[in-house]
Amino acid sequence: MPATQYTGFTDAEAVNNSKQSTFIYKDLNLYFTRNPVTSDVSTVTDVQDIKRAVRNIVLLNPGEKPFHPEIGTGIRGALFENFTPPILQAMRDRIEAVVRRYEPRVTVRSVNFNDPDSQRMDNNELRCQITFVINNAPQIIEEVDLMLQRVR
């Protein structure tokens, strides 16, 4: 499967309004596509907005967000580590803590990584799957898949 399938960018393109939610979350589409009706920048709403926010928080490195150097997981820096169970647990705890603190709209259920013995680990790639529920609709389970890989 191509790596772009796991990045969550395709989630930001879809429209997925939850029927259970009492609030509609709305944000700008970062692709800056044009709304065909209003000719304004299109928006992402509800579930897709929350998925994109979770993905952004996890991929942020500490110090990248201006005036908030504490936000971020630094997970990309761990791509060259030997993925032993204690390292994976530390990464899992870091992701859960950052999402719990900086994304109050969700409750994290689990953070899973691909099997450390798989062939992908030789290429310094790590697939991360974050499962969560939206606090306004706790019966609906959502997930974000991220493929963390080195850029160069």
Distance of alpha carbon 24 from alpha carbon 123, whole angstroms: 40
Work out the angle at residue 75's Cα, subtended by the Cα atoms of residues 129 and 72, and round it to the nearest 5 degrees: 100
Q: What rounded mean pLDDT belongs to the chain?
A: 78
Q: Domain extents for the chain?
A: 3-149
Span 97-131, pLDDT tens digits: 999 999 998 999 999 988 655 545 556 678 899 99
What is 3-149's CATH number, 3.30.70.60, 3.40.50.1370, 3.10.450.40, 3.90.1150.10?
Answer: 3.10.450.40
- Top-confidence range, 31-45, 55-69, 77-91: 55-69
What is the number of alpha carbons within 13 Å of residue 72 lying toward its C-beta? 16
φ, ψ of residue 75 in degrees (nearest 5):
-70, -30
pLDDT confidence band for 47 (50 / 70 / 90): confident
Q: Are 128 and 111 in contact (CB under 8 A)?
A: yes
- Is the pLDDT score of 6 beyond 60? no
| Residue that wins the pLDDT comparison between 41 and 128 | 128
Residue 22's pLDDT is: 56
Span 16-26, pLDDT tens digits: 555 555 556 66
- Is the pLDDT score of 150 beyond 50? yes
Residue 133's pLDDT is: 93
- Is the pLDDT score of 13 beyond 80? no
